[in-house]
Structure 1
């Protein structure tokens, strides 16, 4: 699933960041910010107009991402053990 599709307040882990071109600057910047495989990520809130931007927490840091940027991040839901 894409990060842009993740329901609010649902924990997930990053699987990959998709490159659209070779030497993709946006994908590289997302990785530099901490969007790397295995990191816990959560969508905290969405903006008022067309749900833009998304407030995303990765680790203890929060970022505002455009939906198009969040759509590059592939995530997997964290299974809650009962």
Structure 2
């Protein structure tokens, strides 16, 4: 039986998520997952790191190239530019 404490063991805090986001933005395309984890400014459990990576992928903030390097892809300004175009609206 899993207790509440066990389920929350690897739940990342907001400051940790933001730290990983910022590190990826600054180092986009330089590291694969394990290298990225090893070079973070603050150490964390790999399971916690993977939850953050899964979240960032599902929210379309990061992606990986063909070789597995993690890349920051989120660009809200570009989204706003194209979202405002009438000819690109979903009908």
Q: Confirm or deny a common fold (TM above 0.5).
A: no
Q: Counting strand residues as a fraction of each chain, which structure ranks higher?
A: 1
TM bucket normalised to smaller: 0.3 to 0.5
Q: Tell which structure's C-alpha radius of gyration is larger.
A: 2
TM-score (norm 2): 0.32
Determine which structure has greater relative contact order: mean sequence separation of CA pairs < 8 Å that are 6+ residues apart, divided by chain length: 1
TM-score (norm 1): 0.34
